[in-house]
Amino acid sequence: MATIGKRMAVDKETIRCIDECKEMYLAPDGKEHAVIGLKAVNSVARSRGIVPSQIEIAALEQGIIPRRYLRNMGTIGWEGQAKLLRSTVAVVGAGGLGGTIVELLARHGIGRIIVIDGDRFTEDNLNRQLLSTEENLSEYKAITAAKRVREINSSVSVTSYTERLTGENARELINGAQVVVDGLDNMPSRFAVEEACRDSGIPFVHGTIAGFSGQLMTIFPQDMGLCSIYGEPHNVPEWGMEVVMGNPSATPTLIAAWQVQEVIKIITGIGKPLRNRLLMIDTIEGIAEEIELSN
C-alpha cells in the first residue's frame, strides 16, 4: 500500500474500523474500487474520537475512496485528494467571487477554510452572491459561508473572521493558509493581501470582475504580481468599471470557478498555474485571452 504524503496518526484499530466499513463500487469503466460512505466516515470518526477529515485521509491511504470524492479521483487522484484534505485555504471576501469559491473549495474537500469578510448580506447581493438568500439578509457573509461549508462537507473545518481585512491585520488573518484566494471588491485591499502573502510566502490567486468580463492570475511570492497588471498601488483607483457596469449574475461564478481550479493546481501540483499570465475573459464577445506579463 502506497503511503500518501506524511503518515497519519490514526491507530490500527481505526484502520480496522475503516476497512470493515468499506464497500465495493463498480465504476462505469468496469473497474472496481473500495469506497467508504459518508455515514460510515462519520460513525468511525465519532467512535474513535477523530475528526472526519483524518478518517478520510486514512481511508485514502488504505486505497479506500470516500464516496463523496469518487468523481475527483480521475483527475485529482488519491494522493491529490489527501493533499487537499490536509490543506488550509484562506478566502478573502465572501461575496460574488468568494461565495462561489468557498462553496467549491468545500466540495473539493479542502481540510480547512478561513473566510474573511466584514460585510453583511444586502438585497443588492441577491442577483449574484451564491450564499445570499432572502432569509439571510443582514447576516455576516463570513458566518453564512461557514454554515454553508458545514452543510456541504462536515469534514471541512472552517474559521470565520467578521472583521475587515486591512494592511495591519492581513498577515494575522491569513496565517496558516497554504493559498489565499481573492474575493475582494476593491484594489487597495488586494494590494494589502498581496503584500501579506508575499511576506508570508503564500501564493495568492487574484480575480476581479466587472460587467460581463473578468480576469484572473495566480501570484507566487517571487512573481511580479498586481503591479504588472495595474501599475504601482498609489496610482491605482479603488474601484474599476464595475461601478458603471455592475456585476451581472453569471460573471462572478465564471471567474471564481477558475480561481478554485488554480487553488487545486497549486495544492496538488497538477497542471500549470496562471503565473505571470493574465487570463482575461469577455463573455459578450466570446473571447478568452491570455496575456503574458513582463516587467
Cell numbers for 80: 491529490
**Pick 32 or 292: Cβ nearer another protein:** 292
**Residue 57: CB minimum distance to another protein, A:** 32
Chain contacts with another protein (rule: CB under 8 A): 93, 95-98, 182-187, 190, 207-211, 213-215, 227-232, 235-242, 244-245, 247, 252, 280, 289, 291-295
Nearest distance, CB of residue 197 and another protein, angstroms: 16
Closest CA to 38 of 123, 210, 142, 153: 153
Distances (CA, A) of 175 to 151, 158, 217, 266: 25, 14, 22, 18
**Residue 25 or residue 230: which is nearer to another protein going by CB?**
230
Torsion of CA 111, 117, 122, 126, to 10 degrees: -40
Smallest separation (angstroms) from another protein to the CB of 97: 4
Judged by CB, which is closer to another protein: 70, or 243?
A: 243
Strand 112-116 vs strand 277-282: parallel, antiparallel, or unpaired? Answer: unpaired
- Nearer Cβ to another protein, position 23 or 238? 238
Nearer to another protein, 190 or 265 (CB): 190
| 249-263 as b/e: b if 16+ CB within 10 A | eebbbbbbebbbbbb
Judge whether 18 and 66 are in contact, CB under 8 Å. Answer: no
The distance of Cα 97 from the centroid of its chain, to the nearest Å, equals: 11
Nearest to 129 by CA among 92, 94, 164, 159: 94
The least CB distance from residue 136 to another protein, in Å, is 19
Minimum CB distance to another protein, residue 286 (Å): 15
